[in-house]
Amino acid sequence: MRPVAAYVTLGQYEEQAGPNWTLIIVGYFAVLAVVITLLRPLHLTMGGIFFSMVIAGVVLALAIFLVKRSIQVFQAQGVTVGQAMKTKYRRAIGYEGLPEEEDDEESEQAPASFIADRDPLNLGERFKPSFHAFLCVMCLIVGIRRSGKSTLLLAWVEELARYGLPFVLFDTQGEYSGLVSPKFLRNPRLAGNVEQMSDTPDVALPYLANLTTENVYNCGKAAVKNVLQLVVNLKGYNDDDAAIIMSEIVDGVNDWQEARPNDKRIPFMFFLDEAQKWFPQNAQDRAQDIKAETQAELQESFVGKVVERGGKNGLGLVAATQRYSRINKSLLQGQWKFYLQQTEEIDLARYKRQGIDSEEAKALRQGEVIAYGPDVTHFTFQCRRSYTPHEGHTPNASALAKYTKELDFESLQKTGAFLDDMQLETPDRKAPGKFPEGGQKSRLSVVRDQPEISEDHFSGDDLGEPVVRSESFSENLSEAFQPGKDDLLLSELQTEMFILFYSNAQSSSCGNVAESLKQVKNDKGQGLSGRYYKHANWILEQRGLKKVKRA
């Protein structure tokens, strides 16, 4: 049976927030005056006045208790005090009313401003839905950057974890490692590519495990079998391997559940941030590194096994996305939907279909949410702050001020100080224990096809000195680069970083264009692909830095 939530009006909620001392004091003296009047014929002295004050306090306390008790009874019946009094009066005079009048009364009820339930999840001061309402269901969180999606997701995980619910949180950006602590989770675990997780918090290190394609399927089985609360850091893998990791874990959990009788299965939840990256609505929005067959496997694991058939296997999913219009429509079938601030016109149109006005969606504050769910329609609340330190928060002005205090501005005035500093801070990537070979994200043991670039492009053997600049070098600088349809252009910062790695004799990528590109990271923390190769070669030629093979 679905739990019944308690819905109260705003005025009643304000009364619950604390006693109205003004009213209590006035009421006390009113009762005291009545008591003194009644006891006056007894000609009592000062002791009588004290006795009257005690009687007045007892009478007032009893009256407050009876009023609160009556209100609670009325709320349990789902009616207001006014409706209950009107009903008793009608019964006393024998009037039953008309159906039309009952409908009018229901429509005139004030909208609920507080939701509380048994076994509550404290998602906000005014929104405490039941833990049972979120088992084996689909949920969607939508909102632009900095609208509060990650905060809501973290609060959700923290609350479900209190009840011991096993789950897997797929951490796309590597920002939820702080959650892995007995302080927040009952049975915490952290898994990922340990070579790329040097920034793991100390408190999470005892729970850290290396995840590969050989053990990932069994990891999924172990998560549900041992009731683990597992955070999977995907940042250390390229997108294709990360997609394989995700699909294999889902398959492991699903197969363990299916191997048991239906009455022996347990609830299990998956959490996924940045869902539009892994499940785009349009094929052209798919991440470039994810192969078509991998995308199909990922789709079958999540959509086929969790979204469409996961209910009977005890599986649920919470997906968070920035763009409503770019996420696969199969993930929009959630029983619960949480809408945060939105500004994109195409997404505002989707909001409007749900009954959310465009201006209302734009005006939502950070962390302010409009919730839709079973028995909940257009309920607005402020999400509470998460207890977990969020490692993916947006840097603010205080962070800038703190950092600039530590800078030596005099040294920055020197010519070439920027590149000098970059060279001084270049890590020794051959030093053991610091970086994987080449300083790049290691691929898993699965052998996959490489990008369509010939081996000569990646060869860095027998490289000689830079080519001497020709007399026509200044003329070549004015020639614009002509990219092909598959070529990408380096930004100014990427160009400087690429030249740094290419020219640094202490680096393993020295003189190798492809390896130098891999050292330069994009905004996802991934090395640049071969699609930048042509532009990188052009830059080297223009600057006279191109190394050639010795004869």
**pLDDT tens, 495-530?**
877 887 888 766 677 778 888 888 887 766 778 888
In terms of pLDDT, which residue wins out, 450 or 5?
5
Does the structure show a pLDDT above 60 at 80? no
Angle (nearest 5°) at CA 524 between 518 and 530:
30
pLDDT tens for residues 315-325? 999 988 888 77
In Å, the largest CA–CA distance within the chain is: 126
Check residue 404 and give its pLDDT: 63
Check residue 437 and give its pLDDT: 41
pLDDT tens for residues 432-450? 443 334 334 434 433 333 3
In terms of pLDDT, which residue wins out, 358 or 481?
358
Does the structure show a pLDDT above 50 at 8? no
- Which residue type is seen at 10? L
| Averaged pLDDT for residues 200-219 | 90
End-to-end CA distance of the chain: 82
Lookup: tokens for 100: 């039309």
204: which residues sit within 8 A by CB, 6+ positions away?
A: 177, 178, 180, 181, 188, 190
Host H or E run for residue 7: strand 6-8
| Averaged pLDDT for residues 7-21 | 52
Assign domain 127-382 to a CATH class: alpha beta
Does the structure show a pLDDT above 90 at 19? no
Burial of 428 (0-12, 13-18, 19+ CB in 10 A): exposed
Tell me the domain boundaries of the chain: 6-109, 127-382, 418-549
What integer best gives the mean pLDDT of the chain?
75
Long-range pairs for 287-292 at CB < 8 Å and ≥24 separation? Answer: 287/239, 288/239, 288/529, 289/238, 289/239, 289/240, 289/526, 289/529, 290/239, 290/240, 290/243, 291/240, 291/448
pLDDT tens for residues 528-544? 888 888 888 888 888 77
Rounded to whole angstroms, how far apart are CA atoms 356 and 349? 9
Angle between helices 492-503 and 533-543 (to 10 degrees): 70
Rounded to whole angstroms, how far apart are CA atoms 185 and 164? 8
Give the confidence band of 4 by pLDDT, cuts at 50, 70, 90: very low
Residue labelled with tokens 């968070």: 320
Rounded to whole angstroms, how far apart are CA atoms 197 and 234? 10
- pTM: predicted TM-score of the whole model, two decimal places: 0.57
- Which residue type is seen at 271? F
Does the structure show a pLDDT above 50 at 269? yes
pLDDT tens for residues 357-395? 999 999 999 999 999 998 888 999 999 998 887 665 556
Does the structure show a pLDDT above 50 at 465? no
Backbone angles phi and psi of 97, in degrees to 5: 80, 175
Q: What share of the chain in percent tops pLDDT 90?
A: 24
Backbone angles phi and psi of 233, in degrees to 5: -80, 110
- Which residue type is seen at 353? R
Find the range with the poorest average confidence among 192-196, 459-463, 512-516, 522-526.
Answer: 459-463
